[in-house]
């Protein structure tokens, strides 16, 4: 099987400081990978490099495009990268406000990606928006409300609907459950797990919440100070941590 | 007036503006930045249009200035007098006799012909402005032809009003490439953008010039199931009886009396004369 995403020796520096360095991994179709680590360990830098928001200083990020197989997204032209960004990729921000247009109705938010890939039939766009709002448990009568009128959990679900409407193959998530209370988190995770399994999505999830990766991720990558210190199957890493930092991370979780 | 250079602006400035105009004509719909000058009028009164007119005027030209279709409103009268005094050009109110027409928010009803130039006053040249506040981002969107957002606005219109409620400054796509704001003309005038005359757009405060060469293909954006429709008040002109021209609604008393008359005063007056 060919990988969907192939990362090789990726490095990003902020001047003399390391953002992340020496990152290599393969992600296969249908696989969900978690990236955990403390604040400032380079998780978000890595995710932004992968998603094309930041330009890495060296290394390659190869994505299996539908038409020409593996292509390096770092050297790809910007129009091509943006095209990927609104078709095959999705990016779920930690704060829904960063990923949504707050002054556009929920339906418009979901429809934007469709219109960006030349959907020009209002009725069809509307129908798909209703369908997707239903899938993320937002009732149909809220379709013309703006996200400002939504609760935090609803905004996050709307952001997910908006991202998944074009049927992406790879989803980047940056702390998707951050800032939500635990019961809302649980429902969101449940929803995400369902969507990922149903659509056969591949996903890369950055989080510092070990419960999130335990539920969602097949594989885990632990980062510290810009380096990957441990990788492996999620259960293996969490139940039998080898690296000192991973041991600290696992033992730091409060047991209720 | 000998104290001023011909048409108020100095020759170097006119040269700079003509360069921008030529670039705009070469890339239809593309907003060319230019070093807009202070003009002896406030921003919003047509400083961009005046600069473009000044740069294209020659001593042999005949100038017509209209404001919302009318030749006799404040803005039109003062700009016309400005060029009469600083350039000494002939002026007219007849659309057919003018070689340069400066307009605010209307296209004349009478079809323009080859050899004429129409100059639009533009308040906000960026069609994506109210959707994407960052100028850096909107320029990138134009460069990459990333125009999905423009349809989001039309989508919002339909979802809120049941129809595309945008009635003026209706976005158009030029030659299948750039999305352009045709300045706040009513969407009734959008089909006329496909014309034989040269169209120049000047935005003074925003420092942008853009242009449409003759016979450029201009398409109004729409949805398959909600096609573009030029709209006007459903009446005939109370003065000339025209049923095909764009109408202004006038309130005539405080008892609900109103009348609809052509917004293009020259067109209306000509029709009244011909009938008499």
Q: Is B88 a catalytic residue?
A: no
d(C-alpha B241, C-alpha B255), whole Å = 24
What residues have CB less than 8 Å from A107, skipping those under 6 apart? A126, A129, A130, A133, A143, A144, B155, B159
Looking at the DSSP assignment, which residues form a beta bridge with residue B136? none
> Cα B26 from chain centroid?
19
What are the pLDDT digits (tens) for B51-85?
999 999 999 999 999 999 999 999 999 999 999 99
**Residue B127: what are its φ and ψ, rounded to 5°?**
-65, -25
How large is the ipTM?
Answer: 0.85
Which residue among B144, B152, B160 places its CB closest to the CB of A144? B160
* Residue A108 touches partner B, C-beta closer than 8 Å: yes
Write out residues 170-189 of A within 8 Å (CB-CB) of B.
none
Q: What is the pLDDT of residue A256?
A: 65
Catalytic residue, chosen from B29, B46, B48, B49, is B29
- Collapsing DSSP to helix, strand or coil, B256 comes out as coil
Residue B74 CA, chain-centre distance (Å), reads 17
Question: What is the C-alpha separation between B123 and A218, in angstroms, rounded?
Answer: 55
Note the Cα A54 to chain centre separation in Å.
Answer: 15
Per-residue pLDDT, A187: 85
Can you state the angle between helices B74-86 and B47-56, rounded to 10 degrees?
Answer: 30
Please state, in angstroms and as integers, the Cα–Cα distance from residue B70 to each residue in A212, A221, B50, B110, following that order: 66, 70, 17, 13
Q: A78: nearest CA in chain B?
A: B144
CB contact under 8 A, B152 and A112: yes
Residue indicated by tokens 């350039």? B87
> What would the two tokens of residue B174 be?
């030029």
Q: What integer is the mean pLDDT of B37-42?
A: 93
- Mean pLDDT for all residues in chain B: 94
Residue-level pLDDT, tens digit, chain A, 256 residues: 789 999 999 999 999 999 999 999 999 998 999 999 888 899 999 999 999 999 999 899 999 998 888 999 999 998 889 889 889 999 999 999 999 999 899 999 999 999 998 899 999 999 999 999 998 989 999 999 999 999 988 999 999 999 999 989 999 999 888 878 888 888 888 888 888 888 888 999 998 888 889 888 999 999 999 999 999 999 999 999 999 999 998 888 877 6
Q: Which residues of A touch B221 (CB under 8 A)?
A: none
Minimal CA separation from A157 to chain B, in Å: 20
Contact indicator for A132, A66 with CB cutoff of 8 Å: no
What are the residues facing B173 on neighbouring strands? B179, B219
pLDDT (tens digit, 9 = 90+) per residue, A142-168?
999 999 999 988 999 999 999 999 989
State whether residue B68 is helix, strand or coil.
Answer: coil
Residue identified by tokens 């988190």 is A185
Residue (of A210, A5, A28, A188) closest to A92 by Cα position = A188
Give the one of B152, B160, B223 whose C-beta lies nearest to A121's C-beta. Answer: B223
Restricting to B residues 106-145, those with a Cβ less than 8 Å away from any Cβ of A are 131, 144-145
Residue B64: both structure tokens together: 């017509």
Structure confidence at residue A115 (pLDDT): 93
B130 CA: distance to closest CA in chain A (Å):
10
Q: Are B193 and B103 in contact (CB under 8 A)?
A: no
d(CA A43, CA A221): 10
Look at residue A8 in the predicted model and tell me its pLDDT. 93
In this predicted structure, what is the pLDDT of residue A196?
85
Is B240 a catalytic site residue?
yes
Alpha-helical regions (H) of A51-166: 78-86, 96-99, 106-116, 122-135, 152-164
Query: What's phi and psi for A247, nearest 5 deg?
Result: -60, -45
Spell B202-221 as b/e; 16+ CB within 10 A means b: bbbebbbbbbbebebebebb
Distance CA B57, CA A194 (A): 68
DSSP B169: S
- What residue of A is the nearest CA neighbor of B145? A79
B6 in reach of chain A (CB within 8 A): no
The residue annotated as part of the active site, out of B48, B202, B204, B237, is: B237
Partner residue facing A144 (CB), from B146, B159, B223: B159
Task: Tell whether A126 lies on the interface with B, counting CB pairs under 8 A.
Answer: yes
At residue A86, the pLDDT reads 87
Arithmetic mean of pLDDT, B158-178: 94
From the list B239, B104, B122, B259, the residue with the least C-alpha distance to B180 is B122
Number of CB atoms found within 10 A of residue B47's CB: 21
Q: What is the dihedral sign for C-alpha A220, A222, A226, A228?
A: negative
Chain mean position to CA A204:
5
**Residue B186: Cβ within 10 Å count:** 20
pLDDT, tens only, B143-153? 998 898 899 99
Neighbouring residues of A153: CB distance < 8 A, sequence distance ≥ 6: A180, A184, A187, A188
Catalytic (active site) residue B268:
yes
Under a CB-based contact definition with an 8 Å cutoff, are residues B181 and B187 in contact?
no
Cα–Cα distance, A87 to A52 (Å, whole number): 14
- CA max distance for chain B: 59
- Give me the total of CB pairs closer than 8 Å, taking one residue from chain A and one from chain B: 53
Using CA coordinates, name the residue in chain A closest to B224.
A121
pLDDT number for residue B80 = 96
B-chain CB neighbours of A101 within 8 Å are: 131, 152
The token pair at B62 is 């005949």
pLDDT reported for residue B1: 62
Contact B14, B209 (CB under 8 A): no
Check CB contact under 8 Å for B159 and A126. Answer: yes
Residues near A244 by beta carbon (within 8 Å), at least 6 away in sequence = none
What's the mean pLDDT in B127-136? Answer: 90
Please answer yes or no on whether A111 and B149 come within 8 Å at the CB atom. Answer: no
Which chain B residues have a beta carbon less than 8 Å from that of A125? 155
pLDDT surpasses 80 at B31? yes
Inform me whether the C-beta atom of residue A117 falls under 8 Å from chain B C-beta atoms.
yes
Q: How far away is chain A from the Cα of B135, in angstroms, using its nearest Cα? A: 17
Task: Provide the token pair at A101.
Answer: 């247009």
Touching check for B158 and chain A: CB below 8 Å? yes
Q: Among residues B260, B218, B163, B204, which one has the least CA distance to residue B28? A: B218
Confidence (pLDDT) at A69: 87
């Amino acid at each position: 099987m060919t990988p969907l995403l192939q990362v090789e020796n990726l490095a990003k520096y902020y001047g003399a400081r390391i953002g992340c360095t020496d990152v290599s991994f393969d992600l296969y179709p249908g696989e969900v990978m978690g990236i955990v680590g403390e604040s400032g360990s380079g998780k978000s830098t890595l995710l932004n490099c992968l998603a094309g928001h930041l330009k890495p200083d060296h290394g390659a990020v190869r994505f299996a495009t539908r038409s020409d197989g593996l292509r390096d997204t770092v050297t790809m032209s910007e129009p091509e990268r943006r095209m990927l960004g609104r078709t095959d990729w999705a990016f779920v921000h930690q704060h829904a406000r960063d990923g949504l247009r707050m002054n556009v109705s929920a339906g418009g938010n979901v429809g934007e990606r469709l219109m960006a890939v030349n959907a020009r039939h209002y009725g069809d766009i509307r129908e798909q928006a209703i369908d997707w709002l239903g899938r993320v448990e937002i009732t149909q009568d809220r379709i013309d409300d703006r996200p400002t009128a939504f609760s935090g959990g609803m905004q996050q679900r709307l952001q997910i609907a908006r991202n998944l409407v074009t049927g992406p193959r790879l989803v980047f998530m940056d702390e998707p459950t951050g800032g939500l209370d635990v019961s809302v988190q649980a429902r969101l995770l449940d929803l995400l797990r369902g969507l990922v399994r149903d659509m056969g999505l591949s996903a890369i999830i950055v989080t510092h919440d070990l419960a999130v990766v335990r539920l969602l991720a097949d594989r885990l990558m632990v980062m510290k100070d810009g380096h990957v210190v441990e990788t492996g199957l999620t259960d293996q890493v969490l139940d039998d941590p080898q690296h000192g930092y991973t041991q600290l991370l696992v033992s730091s979780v409060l047991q209720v | 007036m000998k104290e001023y250079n011909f048409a108020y602006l100095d020759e170097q400035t006119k040269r700079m503006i003509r360069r921008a105009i030529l670039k705009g004509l070469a890339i239809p719909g593309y907003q060319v930045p230019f070093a807009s000058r202070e003009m002896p009028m406030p921003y919003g009164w047509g400083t961009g249009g005046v600069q473009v007119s000044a740069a294209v005027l020659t001593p042999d030209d005949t100038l017509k200035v209209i404001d919302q279709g009318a030749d006799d409103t404040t803005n039109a009268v003062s700009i016309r007098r400005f060029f009469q005094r600083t350039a000494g050009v002939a002026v007219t109110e007849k659309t057919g006799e003018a070689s340069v027409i400066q307009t605010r928010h209307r296209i004349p009803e009478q079809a323009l012909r080859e050899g004429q130039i129409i100059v639009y006053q533009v308040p906000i040249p960026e069609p994506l402005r109210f959707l994407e506040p960052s100028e850096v981002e909107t320029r990138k969107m134009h460069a990459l032809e990333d125009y999905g957002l423009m349809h989001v606005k039309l989508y919002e219109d339909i979802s809120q009003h049941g129809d595309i409620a945008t009635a003026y400054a209706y976005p158009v796509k030029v030659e299948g490439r750039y999305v352009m704001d045709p300045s706040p003309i009513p969407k009734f005038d959008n089909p006329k953008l496909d014309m034989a005359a040269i169209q120049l757009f000047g935005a003074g405060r925003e420092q942008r010039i853009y242009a449409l060469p003759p016979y450029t293909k201009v398409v109004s954006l729409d949805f398959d199931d909600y096609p573009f429709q030029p709209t006007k008040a459903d009446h005939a002109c109370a003065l000339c009886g025209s049923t095909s021209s764009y109408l202004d609604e006038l309130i005539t008393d405080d008892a609900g009396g109103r009348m609809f008359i052509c917004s293009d005063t020259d067109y209306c007056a000509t029709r009244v004369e011909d009938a008499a």
